[in-house]
Structure 1
Amino acid sequence: MKDSVGFLINDTARLYRRTLDGNIRDLGMTSLQWRTVARLRREPGMRQSELADLLEVEPITLSRMIDRLADAGMVCRKPDPNDRRAWNLYLTDKTDGLIRQLEIEAKRVEDRALGGLNEAEREQLAGLVERVRANLSRKESIDA
Protein backbone atom coordinates (compact mmCIF):
# COMPACT_ATOMS: atom_id res chain seq x y z
CA MET A 1 0.00 0.00 0.00
CA LYS A 2 1.34 3.39 -0.99
CA ASP A 3 1.17 6.22 1.55
CA SER A 4 -0.89 9.28 0.66
CA VAL A 5 0.80 12.62 0.09
CA GLY A 6 -0.96 13.99 3.19
CA PHE A 7 0.41 11.20 5.35
CA LEU A 8 3.92 11.67 3.94
CA ILE A 9 3.87 15.42 4.54
CA ASN A 10 2.52 15.05 8.07
CA ASP A 11 4.96 12.30 9.01
CA THR A 12 7.86 14.22 7.49
CA ALA A 13 6.89 17.34 9.48
CA ARG A 14 6.77 15.23 12.67
CA LEU A 15 10.25 13.81 12.02
CA TYR A 16 11.56 17.25 11.08
CA ARG A 17 10.22 18.73 14.33
CA ARG A 18 11.62 15.86 16.40
CA THR A 19 15.05 16.22 14.81
CA LEU A 20 15.04 19.98 15.33
CA ASP A 21 13.98 19.55 18.97
CA GLY A 22 16.93 17.21 19.50
CA ASN A 23 19.34 19.67 17.91
CA ILE A 24 18.20 22.71 19.88
CA ARG A 25 17.63 21.04 23.25
CA ASP A 26 21.14 22.06 24.38
CA LEU A 27 20.23 25.68 23.61
CA GLY A 28 17.37 25.42 26.11
CA MET A 29 14.70 25.74 23.43
CA THR A 30 11.94 23.63 21.94
CA SER A 31 10.69 23.81 18.37
CA LEU A 32 7.54 25.57 19.60
CA GLN A 33 9.64 28.20 21.36
CA TRP A 34 11.76 28.55 18.23
CA ARG A 35 8.61 28.98 16.09
CA THR A 36 7.40 31.62 18.56
CA VAL A 37 10.67 33.55 18.46
CA ALA A 38 10.88 33.26 14.68
CA ARG A 39 7.32 34.54 14.22
CA LEU A 40 7.93 37.49 16.57
CA ARG A 41 11.10 38.29 14.70
CA ARG A 42 9.11 38.48 11.45
CA GLU A 43 6.13 40.27 12.99
CA PRO A 44 7.09 42.24 16.10
CA GLY A 45 4.23 43.57 18.18
CA MET A 46 1.88 40.69 17.49
CA ARG A 47 -0.86 40.08 20.05
CA GLN A 48 -0.68 36.90 22.09
CA SER A 49 -4.08 35.74 20.81
CA GLU A 50 -3.01 36.17 17.17
CA LEU A 51 0.23 34.34 17.82
CA ALA A 52 -1.58 31.44 19.50
CA ASP A 53 -3.83 31.11 16.45
CA LEU A 54 -0.90 31.14 14.03
CA LEU A 55 1.05 28.58 16.07
CA GLU A 56 -2.09 26.48 16.57
CA VAL A 57 -1.70 26.26 20.33
CA GLU A 58 -4.12 27.04 23.11
CA PRO A 59 -3.82 30.63 24.41
CA ILE A 60 -2.99 29.37 27.93
CA THR A 61 -0.17 27.21 26.55
CA LEU A 62 1.29 30.19 24.71
CA SER A 63 0.82 32.43 27.73
CA ARG A 64 2.86 30.10 29.92
CA MET A 65 5.57 29.82 27.31
CA ILE A 66 5.69 33.62 26.89
CA ASP A 67 5.97 33.87 30.68
CA ARG A 68 9.06 31.63 30.57
CA LEU A 69 10.58 33.55 27.66
CA ALA A 70 9.87 36.85 29.45
CA ASP A 71 11.42 35.53 32.68
CA ALA A 72 14.51 34.63 30.63
CA GLY A 73 14.60 38.21 29.30
CA MET A 74 13.94 37.20 25.68
CA VAL A 75 10.42 38.56 25.21
CA CYS A 76 8.66 41.60 26.58
CA ARG A 77 4.97 42.44 26.66
CA LYS A 78 3.78 45.96 25.95
CA PRO A 79 0.21 47.19 26.25
CA ASP A 80 -1.62 47.38 22.95
CA PRO A 81 -2.38 51.08 22.33
CA ASN A 82 -5.70 50.15 20.67
CA ASP A 83 -6.96 47.69 23.29
CA ARG A 84 -6.27 48.05 27.02
CA ARG A 85 -6.95 44.34 27.56
CA ALA A 86 -4.41 43.13 24.98
CA TRP A 87 -0.63 42.77 25.06
CA ASN A 88 1.76 43.05 22.14
CA LEU A 89 4.87 40.88 22.14
CA TYR A 90 8.39 41.93 21.23
CA LEU A 91 11.76 40.20 21.25
CA THR A 92 14.56 41.72 23.28
CA ASP A 93 18.17 42.13 22.19
CA LYS A 94 18.97 39.07 24.28
CA THR A 95 17.56 36.85 21.53
CA ASP A 96 19.96 38.04 18.80
CA GLY A 97 22.75 35.53 19.53
CA LEU A 98 20.27 32.76 20.26
CA ILE A 99 18.49 33.31 16.94
CA ARG A 100 21.79 32.99 15.08
CA GLN A 101 22.46 29.68 16.86
CA LEU A 102 18.92 28.45 16.17
CA GLU A 103 19.25 29.34 12.50
CA ILE A 104 22.46 27.31 12.30
CA GLU A 105 20.73 24.29 13.84
CA ALA A 106 17.69 24.72 11.59
CA LYS A 107 20.01 24.80 8.56
CA ARG A 108 21.67 21.58 9.76
CA VAL A 109 18.30 19.86 9.98
CA GLU A 110 17.31 21.15 6.54
CA ASP A 111 20.58 19.94 5.03
CA ARG A 112 20.04 16.52 6.60
CA ALA A 113 16.42 16.37 5.43
CA LEU A 114 17.31 17.37 1.89
CA GLY A 115 20.46 15.24 1.69
CA GLY A 116 20.87 13.64 -1.71
CA LEU A 117 18.76 16.26 -3.48
CA ASN A 118 20.55 18.57 -5.90
CA GLU A 119 19.84 22.30 -5.98
CA ALA A 120 17.24 22.02 -8.74
CA GLU A 121 15.38 19.27 -6.84
CA ARG A 122 15.48 21.34 -3.64
CA GLU A 123 14.02 24.33 -5.45
CA GLN A 124 11.38 22.16 -7.13
CA LEU A 125 10.40 20.58 -3.79
CA ALA A 126 10.16 23.99 -2.10
CA GLY A 127 8.01 25.31 -4.94
CA LEU A 128 5.67 22.33 -4.85
CA VAL A 129 5.25 22.45 -1.07
CA GLU A 130 4.63 26.20 -1.29
CA ARG A 131 1.86 25.60 -3.84
CA VAL A 132 0.26 22.97 -1.61
CA ARG A 133 0.41 25.38 1.33
CA ALA A 134 -1.11 28.16 -0.78
CA ASN A 135 -3.92 25.84 -1.90
CA LEU A 136 -4.74 24.96 1.69
CA SER A 137 -4.46 28.55 2.87
CA ARG A 138 -6.95 29.68 0.25
CA LYS A 139 -9.34 26.90 1.26
CA GLU A 140 -9.14 27.90 4.91
CA SER A 141 -9.90 31.53 4.08
CA ILE A 142 -12.90 30.46 2.00
CA ASP A 143 -14.22 28.14 4.76
CA ALA A 144 -13.72 30.71 7.51
Structure 2
Amino acid sequence: MRRSFDQRAREIGVTRPQWQVLSVLSRREGIKQAELAEILEVEPITAGRMIDRMQDAGLVERRADPADRRAWRLFLTPQGQNRVGELGPLSEEISDLALTGVSDADQAQLYATLEIIRLNLSGKPAADDNAGK
Protein backbone atom coordinates (compact mmCIF):
# COMPACT_ATOMS: atom_id res chain seq x y z
CA MET A 1 0.00 0.00 0.00
CA ARG A 2 2.79 2.37 0.98
CA ARG A 3 4.82 1.64 -2.16
CA SER A 4 1.82 2.18 -4.40
CA PHE A 5 1.06 5.53 -2.78
CA ASP A 6 4.73 6.59 -2.84
CA GLN A 7 5.07 5.82 -6.53
CA ARG A 8 1.91 7.69 -7.50
CA ALA A 9 2.72 10.62 -5.20
CA ARG A 10 6.19 10.96 -6.77
CA GLU A 11 4.50 11.24 -10.16
CA ILE A 12 2.58 14.23 -8.75
CA GLY A 13 5.80 15.66 -7.33
CA VAL A 14 5.73 15.05 -3.57
CA THR A 15 7.13 12.56 -1.10
CA ARG A 16 5.07 10.77 1.56
CA PRO A 17 6.42 13.02 4.36
CA GLN A 18 5.52 16.07 2.28
CA TRP A 19 2.04 14.63 1.74
CA GLN A 20 1.71 14.21 5.50
CA VAL A 21 2.55 17.89 5.99
CA LEU A 22 0.16 18.99 3.25
CA SER A 23 -2.58 16.81 4.68
CA VAL A 24 -2.17 18.20 8.20
CA LEU A 25 -2.08 21.80 6.94
CA SER A 26 -5.18 21.27 4.82
CA ARG A 27 -7.06 20.42 8.02
CA ARG A 28 -5.26 22.73 10.46
CA GLU A 29 -3.93 25.63 8.45
CA GLY A 30 -2.18 28.24 10.54
CA ILE A 31 -0.76 25.86 13.14
CA LYS A 32 2.63 26.52 14.66
CA GLN A 33 5.64 24.66 13.36
CA ALA A 34 6.13 23.03 16.79
CA GLU A 35 2.54 21.73 16.71
CA LEU A 36 3.15 20.23 13.28
CA ALA A 37 6.24 18.44 14.59
CA GLU A 38 4.20 17.00 17.44
CA ILE A 39 1.42 15.81 15.12
CA LEU A 40 3.94 14.19 12.77
CA GLU A 41 5.86 12.75 15.72
CA VAL A 42 9.18 14.19 14.55
CA GLU A 43 11.71 16.46 16.20
CA PRO A 44 11.07 20.20 15.68
CA ILE A 45 14.36 20.54 13.74
CA THR A 46 13.23 17.77 11.37
CA ALA A 47 9.91 19.51 10.79
CA GLY A 48 11.75 22.78 10.26
CA ARG A 49 13.98 21.31 7.56
CA MET A 50 11.00 19.71 5.86
CA ILE A 51 9.15 23.03 5.87
CA ASP A 52 12.27 24.77 4.50
CA ARG A 53 12.28 22.43 1.49
CA MET A 54 8.54 22.72 0.99
CA GLN A 55 8.70 26.50 1.22
CA ASP A 56 11.48 26.51 -1.39
CA ALA A 57 9.23 24.34 -3.59
CA GLY A 58 6.37 26.83 -3.21
CA LEU A 59 4.05 24.44 -1.36
CA VAL A 60 3.85 26.12 2.05
CA GLU A 61 4.59 29.48 3.58
CA ARG A 62 5.55 30.63 7.03
CA ARG A 63 3.92 33.68 8.53
CA ALA A 64 4.98 35.36 11.73
CA ASP A 65 2.71 34.66 14.68
CA PRO A 66 1.30 38.04 15.73
CA ALA A 67 1.03 36.86 19.34
CA ASP A 68 4.54 35.36 19.55
CA ARG A 69 7.37 36.86 17.52
CA ARG A 70 9.47 33.70 18.00
CA ALA A 71 6.87 31.40 16.42
CA TRP A 72 5.84 30.77 12.84
CA ARG A 73 2.41 29.81 11.58
CA LEU A 74 2.19 27.51 8.56
CA PHE A 75 -0.10 27.92 5.57
CA LEU A 76 -0.61 26.20 2.24
CA THR A 77 0.19 28.18 -0.88
CA PRO A 78 -2.13 27.89 -3.89
CA GLN A 79 0.34 25.34 -5.30
CA GLY A 80 0.18 23.38 -2.02
CA GLN A 81 -3.62 23.46 -2.14
CA ASN A 82 -3.47 22.10 -5.69
CA ARG A 83 -1.25 19.21 -4.53
CA VAL A 84 -3.76 18.38 -1.77
CA GLY A 85 -6.49 18.36 -4.41
CA GLU A 86 -4.46 15.92 -6.50
CA LEU A 87 -3.36 13.66 -3.64
CA GLY A 88 -6.60 13.51 -1.66
CA PRO A 89 -8.39 11.31 -4.21
CA LEU A 90 -5.24 9.17 -4.56
CA SER A 91 -5.18 8.57 -0.81
CA GLU A 92 -8.86 7.62 -0.83
CA GLU A 93 -8.36 5.32 -3.83
CA ILE A 94 -5.50 3.45 -2.13
CA SER A 95 -7.50 3.14 1.12
CA ASP A 96 -10.54 1.86 -0.76
CA LEU A 97 -8.38 -0.70 -2.56
CA ALA A 98 -6.82 -1.87 0.71
CA LEU A 99 -10.25 -2.25 2.36
CA THR A 100 -11.96 -4.03 -0.53
CA GLY A 101 -14.04 -6.87 0.89
CA VAL A 102 -13.84 -5.59 4.48
CA SER A 103 -17.30 -4.90 5.89
CA ASP A 104 -18.22 -1.49 7.30
CA ALA A 105 -18.48 -3.04 10.77
CA ASP A 106 -15.01 -4.59 10.48
CA GLN A 107 -13.61 -1.28 9.21
CA ALA A 108 -15.12 0.53 12.20
CA GLN A 109 -13.59 -2.06 14.55
CA LEU A 110 -10.23 -1.73 12.80
CA TYR A 111 -10.21 2.06 13.17
CA ALA A 112 -11.25 1.81 16.83
CA THR A 113 -8.50 -0.71 17.54
CA LEU A 114 -5.88 1.38 15.75
CA GLU A 115 -6.94 4.43 17.77
CA ILE A 116 -6.49 2.48 21.01
CA ILE A 117 -3.04 1.36 19.86
CA ARG A 118 -2.14 4.94 18.89
CA LEU A 119 -3.23 6.24 22.29
CA ASN A 120 -1.36 3.48 24.12
CA LEU A 121 1.86 4.26 22.24
CA SER A 122 1.48 8.00 22.74
CA GLY A 123 1.58 7.56 26.51
CA LYS A 124 -2.12 8.35 26.86
CA PRO A 125 -3.68 4.90 27.36
CA ALA A 126 -7.23 4.50 26.17
CA ALA A 127 -9.95 3.89 28.74
CA ASP A 128 -10.21 0.19 29.50
CA ASP A 129 -13.72 -0.30 28.08
CA ASN A 130 -12.96 -3.86 27.04
CA ALA A 131 -11.69 -5.23 30.36
CA GLY A 132 -12.07 -8.94 30.60
CA LYS A 133 -12.38 -9.57 26.84
* Alpha-carbon distance between aligned partners in 1 of 2:47 and 2:115, rounded to the nearest angstrom: 27
Are the structure 2 counterparts of residues 18 and 58 from structure 1 closer, same or farther at C-alpha, using a change threshold of 3 Å? farther
Question: Post-superposition shift, 1:55?
Answer: 0.7
Please state if 1:48 is matched with 2:37. Answer: no
Instruction: Give a deviation string over 1:2-46, Cα, whole Å, max 9, x none.
Output: xxxxxxxxxxxxxx4444222211111111111111111111111
Question: Post-superposition shift, 1:137?
Answer: 5.0
Residue 110 (structure 1) aligns with: 95
Q: Check conservation: 2:26, 2:84, Cα contact below 8 A.
A: no
For the residue of structure 2 that corresponds to 1:29, the secondary structure is coil
* Alpha-carbon distance between aligned partners in 2 of 1:59 and 1:137, rounded to the nearest angstrom: 17
Instruction: Name whichever structure is richer in helix by fraction.
Output: 1
For the residue of structure 2 that corresponds to 1:45, the secondary structure is coil
Residue 83 (structure 1) aligns with: 68
* Alpha-carbon distance between aligned partners in 2 of 1:97 and 1:83, rounded to the nearest angstrom: 30
Residue 25 (structure 1) aligns with: 10
Match of 2:51, as an amino acid? Answer: I
Are the structure 2 counterparts of residues 137 and 63 from structure 1 closer, same or farther at C-alpha, using a change threshold of 3 Å? closer
For structure 2, list consecutive stretches of 5 or more residues without a partner in the other structure: 126-133
Runs of 4+ in 1 over 6 A off after TM superposition: none
Alignment of 1:1-144 (within 5 A): 16-134=1-119, 136-137=121-122, 139=124
Match of 2:50, as an amino acid? Answer: M
Match of 1:42, as an amino acid? Answer: R
Q: TM-score, normalised by structure 2?
A: 0.79
For the residue of structure 1 that corresponds to 2:78, the secondary structure is coil
* Alpha-carbon distance between aligned partners in 2 of 1:84 and 1:18, rounded to the nearest angstrom: 40
- Percent identity between matched residues is 45
RMSD value, Cα: 2.3
User: How many residue pairs were aligned?
Assistant: 126
For the residue of structure 2 that corresponds to 1:76, the secondary structure is strand
* Alpha-carbon distance between aligned partners in 2 of 1:59 and 1:133, rounded to the nearest angstrom: 20
* Alpha-carbon distance between aligned partners in 1 of 2:92 and 2:21, rounded to the nearest angstrom: 17
Q: TM-score, normalised by structure 1?
A: 0.73
For structure 1, list consecutive stretches of 5 or more residues without a partner in the other structure: 1-15
Match of 1:41, as an amino acid? Answer: S
